[in-house]
Amino acid sequence: MPDTSLEALRRRLAEGRDPQTVEAIRSAVEARQQVRGGHTRWGLVCEEAGLMGLAFREFQLAIRDDQADGVALERLAEHYQERGDTVRAASLFERLLQTNPAHQAWLQSLAELLRGTPEWQQVRQAVARAVAAGLPEERAAELLRSGGDPHEAAGIPNPLEDASEKTLPAPSDADCIRFASLFSGREDVYARQWHRPTNGQTGYTPVHEPLTPAVIRNHLLGAFTAGVYPIRLDQTATWFAVDLDLRRPALDEARRDAARARQLRDLTRRTGLAILGVLCELGLDPLFENSGYKGRSAVMEVLTVDAPIRDAIARSLPSDEIQAMALKAGMVSLKQAGLLKVRAGITSLTTALEVTGGE
């Protein structure tokens, strides 16, 4: 009879996530549901096996056994966050912060959950307690600026105060409503992207609420990434998207070789412009977007295909000339977009310049 102890199953899982091992973990967890103790460790193994539903239940049982179990509280909060249950997730992160007020990861998660909501005041209070507990004021200012209000942390020096790059105002309610009309989808639900830094996993979780102007504003500011389900309740769609992605080996080559990165970038742009040309010939009105990488805050260079750009595409002008036309007409370059993220406290100046310095 095979050994079904936790450590034996963990060793088997480390050798590969085969169906037999996953099923053995499922059976072992189901068999010990009424047992008290050990649920946090089994929950972590369930996560490694991809059994997220069972992991969620195990962390709930762990809290039943020990309400001060910090690991279970944190994992359960992240599960609620991924499910779109922001109220329960925020409540758990606040419980965690009571034990360690200056814990930056928990403060960041709380800020991400409550950004753009009436409960943002809870973040201000949590940050104030964190500063009293030793959180550096510069980090506190970054967290508060992430709420989308550039005046939130007034008095904190801005490292880009003298930057010559152009800046854009925060999107107004009218901008957000127009965005919603252009990219409307299913009326009763939207999606929100999650990212787990510990293992690099990323995905989208349904949020069973309407897509409001507040959600759209935070999406446009880069506070989080929202998604739309294009098919409406009446089974119609007003827009669609075509993805142009690079395979993982190509991305790895680009990270090692700057020349290869430029070659792939140019190839992607040429291919994207070719797709735009086909869509224009079909009588459609496409937008060209460089949306970056999943699981990170996107730095976007959005090309609006107006009449002059459409004409340039039809005449097969070089991509650099088309980009110059768009910049002259007011398009925000990738580098400028990165600096806007720095101003908002979403990323650091070093990271922004590293990612966009070649643009």
| Full DSSP string of 207-241 | E-S---HHHHHHHHHTSS-EE---S-TTS--S---
Tell me how far apart the alpha carbons of residues 303 and 240 are, in angstroms, rounded to a whole number: 17
Q: Considering the domain boundaries, does residue 19 fall inside one?
A: yes
Confidence at residue 184, expressed as pLDDT on a 0 to 100 scale: 87
Final residue of a domain: which of 107, 129, 145?
145
Q: What angle do CA 157, 166, 288 make, to 5 degrees?
A: 125
Say whether both 265 and 298 belong to one domain.
yes
For residues 336, 338, 344 and 345, what is the CA-based torsion angle, rounded to 10 degrees? -150
Residue type, 184: S
Say whether both 20 and 127 belong to one domain.
yes
For residues 80, 82, 85 and 86, what is the CA-based torsion angle, rounded to 10 degrees? 100
Say whether both 13 and 135 belong to one domain.
yes
Residue 24: CB atoms within 10 Å = 19
Q: Considering the domain boundaries, does residue 167 fall inside one?
A: no
Q: Considering the domain boundaries, does residue 162 fall inside one?
A: no
List b or e across 286-296, with b for residues whose CB sees 16 or more CB atoms inside 10 angstroms.
bebebebeeee
Say whether both 351 and 275 belong to one domain.
yes
Confidence at residue 114, expressed as pLDDT on a 0 to 100 scale: 83
Q: Considering the domain boundaries, does residue 140 fall inside one?
A: yes
With residues binned 3-state (H G I as helix, E B as strand, rest as coil), the percentages for the chain, rounded to 5, are 55, 5, 40
* Domain of 279, in residue numbers: 248-356
Confidence at residue 100, expressed as pLDDT on a 0 to 100 scale: 92
Model confidence pLDDT, tens digit, residues 167-192: 456 778 888 888 888 888 998 999 88
Say whether both 313 and 256 belong to one domain.
yes
Tell me how far apart the alpha carbons of residues 147 and 94 are, in angstroms, rounded to a whole number: 17
Say whether both 106 and 74 belong to one domain.
yes
Confidence at residue 335, expressed as pLDDT on a 0 to 100 scale: 82
Rounded CA Rg of the chain: 23
Q: How many domains does the chain have?
A: 3
Final residue of a domain: which of 145, 161, 194?
145
Say whether both 19 and 124 belong to one domain.
yes
Provide CB contacts within 8 A for 65, sequence distance 6+: 36, 37, 39
Q: What is the residue-level pLDDT of the chain in tens, covering all 359 positions?
A: 344 588 888 888 888 778 888 888 889 888 888 888 899 999 998 888 888 888 899 999 999 999 989 999 999 998 887 777 788 888 999 999 999 999 988 998 888 888 777 788 888 889 999 999 888 888 888 888 765 444 444 443 443 344 444 445 677 888 888 888 888 899 899 988 876 655 556 778 888 888 888 888 888 877 778 899 999 989 898 888 888 888 878 877 776 777 787 788 788 888 888 888 888 888 888 877 766 544 346 677 888 888 888 888 888 888 888 888 888 888 888 888 878 777 765 666 766 777 776 44
Q: Considering the domain boundaries, does residue 255 fall inside one?
A: yes
Q: Considering the domain boundaries, does residue 158 fall inside one?
A: no
Say whether both 211 and 252 belong to one domain.
no
Say whether both 14 and 82 belong to one domain.
yes
Tell me how far apart the alpha carbons of residues 296 and 197 are, in angstroms, rounded to a whole number: 10
Q: Considering the domain boundaries, does residue 100 fall inside one?
A: yes
CATH number of the domain encompassing residue 121: 1.25.40.10
Say whether both 287 and 340 belong to one domain.
yes
Q: Are 293 and 248 in contact (CB under 8 A)?
A: no
Say whether both 141 and 177 belong to one domain.
no
Confidence at residue 52, expressed as pLDDT on a 0 to 100 scale: 84
Mean pLDDT in the chain?
80
Confidence at residue 101, expressed as pLDDT on a 0 to 100 scale: 92
Residue type, 152: E
How big is the chain, counted in residues?
A: 359
Confidence at residue 273, expressed as pLDDT on a 0 to 100 scale: 83
Q: Considering the domain boundaries, does residue 254 fall inside one?
A: yes
Say whether both 279 and 342 belong to one domain.
yes
